[in-house]
Amino acid sequence: MEAFLQELKRSLGSNDDLFEMQYVFLGQVVTLLGYTTLTDISMTVSSLQQQEHNARGSRVGEEAFWHTIGSVHPLSVRLAVSAVLDGQVVLLIEGRTAMIVVDAVQRELTRAIEAPSNESVLQGPIGSFNEDLDTNLGLLRKQACTDSMRVLNYSAGVAQRKRLSLIYDARHADADMVGKMIAQIEANLDREIATTQTLSRMLGFTKWQAISKFNTTELPQEAVSAMTKGKVVILVDRLPIAYVLPNLLWDMFALENDRNYTVPIMIIIRTIRVIGVLLTLLAPAFYVALVAVNPEVLRIEMALSVAVSREGVPYPAIVEMLLMLVILELIIEASARLPKSIGPTLTMVGGIIIGQAVVTARLVSNMLIIILAATTIANSTVVGFQNSLSIRMFKYVTVILAAMFGVLGIMAGMVLLCSYLASLHTFGVSYINLSFKGEIKHG
């Protein structure tokens, strides 16, 4: 018993927030062990004392009492360590070879359920996932409210043990695909899953994907709708997002929340998103192609006005375009990094540069500013920030090809992009499947 305590303390290391206290319950001397930073000790002890008092009153035997306050296990250092790290308290009874893992009162270390911070919801359920896995699971249960939802819990990682849950709808999900995923997860439980990158390594995806294999969402509504479409949701403790697998092309354009509007409005909203993606990919490329390579495509009035706007611009169109695109990327990145109170300064300064100064200085044409503004705005219409990043990257492919081969290059770029998208597949499901319902087309 004493030896076990020493060994347990050695494996937990010397930590100042580790507490070890002796109490007497039902005449037995017990030792409580846990982290003060994870557990509320005074609350835990007083709840234990309350239970002891009740046990005395109802004349419950000593053995039965130990079972009411927690789960009784044989002595095991590994189990005790993981219980303590999980914020539970280990109770050791003098002279016995068993330990009790007491479900202690936790310190409040998770924020409340709040509105999503990366996605905004119009006229829809607004509560979003937070860092606590159980809260997130609860949100899913509450949202789905179905008997066919299945939850599988795993604990993965060696250095950092993280909990991971795999949730699917048994009625809709393809058993074959779910089976493959479970096998993959179970085979790789020793991998770390602290970030999306490590999680995708665990699921066996390559690191070099331009498009995320996961569709991420903060909204229980979207996660549940994905489940009813046969997809699988993965939640990781301490990550306030749900990973939806497999990610499909159409997820870039469709939100479940669109269905809170009438059908014509839904169709228009989604069409706008498709236009947004096409505009992001094509507008800068067309500017470069039409200005530098194929001006004959423009109507003469347009050609003349573009020529006037470029009068005195020193660089070729491609340099001009890349210069401004890079500045724009810098602004976007900087505004993501800056604290919210300094953000407006950046927007203002960026607005001055991009808005007027750069045109007045004759560095770029004002036509380019229009194209740039349209591109940036269009870029943001896409559903999901990770998709918007991918599209932002793809536009450079079309721009560079357009600079070399003109309008033909744009077409080549689009063909390249389409063939790349067509080559992607996740657990046997092709990325360009439009709908997931019914028969799954295995790639």
Footprint of another protein (CB under 8 A) = 206-208, 290-293, 295-296, 298, 300, 303-308, 310-311, 313, 316-317, 403-406
Nearest distance from C-beta of residue 291 to another protein, angstroms: 5
Nearest distance from C-beta of residue 356 to another protein, angstroms: 17
Nearer to another protein (CB atom), residue 310 or residue 392: 310
Give the H or E element holding residue 47: helix 41-57
Nearer to another protein (CB atom), residue 298 or residue 374: 298
Q: What angle do CA 404, 408, 414 make, to 5 degrees?
A: 100
Nearest distance from C-beta of residue 84 to another protein, angstroms: 41
Nearer to another protein (CB atom), residue 274 or residue 304: 304
Nearer to another protein (CB atom), residue 23 or residue 405: 405
Nearest distance from C-beta of residue 318 to another protein, angstroms: 8
Cα dihedral sign, 58-63-68-69: positive
Give the H or E element holding residue 305: helix 300-309
Nearest distance from C-beta of residue 112 to another protein, angstroms: 43
Which amino acid is residue 327, in one-letter code? I
Nearest distance from C-beta of residue 400 to another protein, angstroms: 8
Question: Contact at 8 Å (CB) between 100 and 66?
Answer: yes
Nearest distance from C-beta of residue 372 to another protein, angstroms: 17
Nearer to another protein (CB atom), residue 189 or residue 407: 407
Quote the distance between the C-alpha of residue 214 and its chain's center.
8
Nearer to another protein (CB atom), residue 303 or residue 432: 303
- Those residues with Cβ within 8 angstroms of residue 247's Cβ, 6 or more apart along the chain or in another chain: 211, 212, 213, 214, 215, 426, 431
Which amino acid is residue 226, in one-letter code? A
Nearer to another protein (CB atom), residue 114 or residue 296: 296
Residues 65, 28: Cα–Cα separation, whole Å: 12
Radius of gyration for the chain, computed over Cα atoms and rounded to the nearest angstrom: 29
Residues 304, 324: Cα–Cα separation, whole Å: 23
Nearer to another protein (CB atom), residue 139 or residue 325: 325
Nearest distance from C-beta of residue 402 to another protein, angstroms: 10
Phi, psi of 309 (to 5 degrees): -70, -20
Residue whose C-alpha is closest to residue 93's, from 58, 56, 119, 63: 63
For 109, what's the count of Cα atoms within 13 Å in the CB-facing half-sphere? 14
Which residue bears the tokens 């306030």? 240
